[in-house]
Amino acid sequence: MISSGVEAAWYVYGVVPADARLEGLEVVSEHGLSAIIGRVDLAEFGEEPLRRNLENRAWLEQAVASHDDMLSGVVGAAPLVPFRFGTVFRDEAGVREMLHARRAELRGALDRLRGHVELGVKVFLVDTPRGEEAKPATGRDYLLQKQRARDAATNVQAEALEQVRALHEHLASLADGARANPPQPPELSGRRDAMLLNAAYLVSTGEQPEFIAAADDHGDGRLEVVVTGPWPAYNFVEPEEAE
């Protein structure tokens, strides 16, 4: 990716323990911590070009995928603290200084995340077709029908929310961390069905099958449960607040 004549910089993907045995990864190590790094060109990742590139969909797609690919390759092989996209240093010394300054926090995070992966769970309220009602004979019938339809929809929504709350509580009890993020609106989820839950759970590596089965069990004709992962623990890099 880097040829001579370009201004190289150090892109940090995340941090693993320095004793982790990972093939083929370039790292910078300090204080028992290894930053997984990649050499990038400042013409691409400098402040201005980066901002421009983020507006380029093809570039963005490729860049976020390769960030995740690099980290996903480490999931399961070593404890891992994922960094946010676009963390770049001008030289190796900058990476070392960062490891030095943040060592206590990074060690704490590695200890917490050891032996865990992140699983994503989204729940959609599936739009069920309503039964045909008789044609209203009068304007009053018409208004009553409209009212009934609205009440039914409100009830469905309220019941579904209650079901989702129970699902989240159950899954959180099986996990070592839980985060409920704001559900995505249809224009982001790409689906017309309302997203009722957009959560992430920190799950023991060995307990993934049980967790997924438990999540799937909550699905029914009305609620569709979608599990994704295993992911690097993007949602769990900060210690969870006391519940």
Partner 1 sequence: MSRDLPLEQQITLIELVDRVLSKGVVVTGDITLAVADVDLVYVGLRVLLASVGTIERLQGQAA
52/56 Cα distance (integer angstroms): 7
What DSSP state is assigned to residue 184? P
Tell me the closest approach of the beta carbon of residue 54 to partner 1, in angstroms: 5
Tell me the closest approach of the beta carbon of residue 28 to partner 1, in angstroms: 13
Closest to partner 1 by CB, 160 vs 200, is: 200
Q: Which residues bind partner 1 (CB under 8 A)?
A: 9, 12, 14-15, 45-47, 50-51, 54-55, 57, 60-61, 64-65, 67-68, 81-90, 94, 98, 102, 106, 109, 120, 181, 184, 186-190, 212, 215-216, 224, 226-232, 234-235, 237
Closest to partner 1 by CB, 172 vs 234, is: 234
Structure tokens at 155: 């009830």
Tell me the closest approach of the beta carbon of residue 206 to partner 1, in angstroms: 15
Tell me the closest approach of the beta carbon of residue 204 to partner 1, in angstroms: 16
226/197 Cα distance (integer angstroms): 10
Going by C-beta distance under 8 Å and a sequence separation of 6 or more, which residues neighbour residue 208?
117, 119, 230
Closest to partner 1 by CB, 22 vs 59, is: 59
Tell me the closest approach of the beta carbon of residue 81 to partner 1, in angstroms: 6
- Residue indicated by tokens 């004793």: 19
Q: Answer yes or no: are the C-beta atoms of 218 and 106 closer than 8 Å.
A: no
Closest to partner 1 by CB, 160 vs 199, is: 199
Tell me the closest approach of the beta carbon of residue 154 to partner 1, in angstroms: 26
195/182 Cα distance (integer angstroms): 9
Phi then psi for 145, rounded to 5 degrees? -60, -45
Residue 226: is it exposed, middle or buried by C-beta count within 10 angstroms (0-12/13-18/19+)? middle
Q: Which amino acid is at 89?
A: F
Closest to partner 1 by CB, 66 vs 145, is: 66
Closest to partner 1 by CB, 51 vs 165, is: 51
